[in-house]
């Protein structure tokens, strides 16, 4: 009986290990470069440029009369950049409500599924809570 219990425990442990997610399924070189995203969630003209070794990213989009451009850097690990960013917001309306910000904290999480990039941001400022999906790589 003890052998049967030990055998069941070993099989259950192996099944658990085999079924566990081993982390990200892409390399950092897979996400480097220019990406264009389709319009989504009221945002248009969405672009992202992921720096070599994913040590930073530039992200831009339009939302109504506002055009945003965010750039920054940090450290990359396990599909995420954690660091700081700056931004400019340009308002094309008669109100001309331009704005900018410096040294805002951000974490950007990348996922790559069927060669489509998704980015999800959390931190402060205009990138906080933004998620853009279905990004298509733009070769130079």
Q: Alpha-carbon torsion 59, 75, 34, 122, what sign?
A: negative
pLDDT of residue 23: 60
Token pair in block for residue 67: 């055009």
pLDDT of residue 94: 94
Torsion region of 30: left, alpha or beta (phi above 0 gives left; psi -120 to 50 gives alpha): alpha
Q: How far apart are CA 110 and CA 57, in angstroms?
A: 11
From 130, 83, 137, 84, select the one nearest 112 (Cα to Cα): 137
pLDDT of residue 6: 38
Specify the long-range contacts of residues 86-90, CB closer than 8 Å, at least 24 apart: 87/125, 87/126, 87/127, 89/126, 90/66
pLDDT of residue 64: 97
Low-confidence stretches of the chain (pLDDT < 50) are 1, 4-21
Q: How far apart are CA 119 and CA 135, in angstroms?
A: 9
């Amino acid at each position: 009986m003890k052998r049967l219990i030990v055998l069941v425990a070993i099989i259950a442990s192996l099944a658990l290990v085999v079924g566990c997610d081993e982390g990200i399924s892409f390399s950092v070189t897979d996400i480097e470069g220019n990406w264009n995203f389709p319009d989504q969630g009221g945002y248009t003209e969405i672009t992202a440029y992921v720096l070599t070794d994913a040590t930073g990213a530039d992200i831009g989009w339009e939302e109504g009369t506002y055009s945003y451009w965010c750039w920054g850097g940090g450290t990359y690990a396990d599909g995420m950049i954690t660091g700081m960013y700056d931004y400019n917001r340009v308002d094309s309306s008669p109100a001309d409500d331009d704005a900018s910000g410096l040294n805002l904290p951000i974490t950007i999480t990348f996922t790559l599924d069927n060669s489509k990039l998704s980015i999800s941001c959390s931190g402060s400022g205009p990138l906080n809570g933004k998620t853009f999906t279905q990004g298509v790589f733009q070769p130079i």
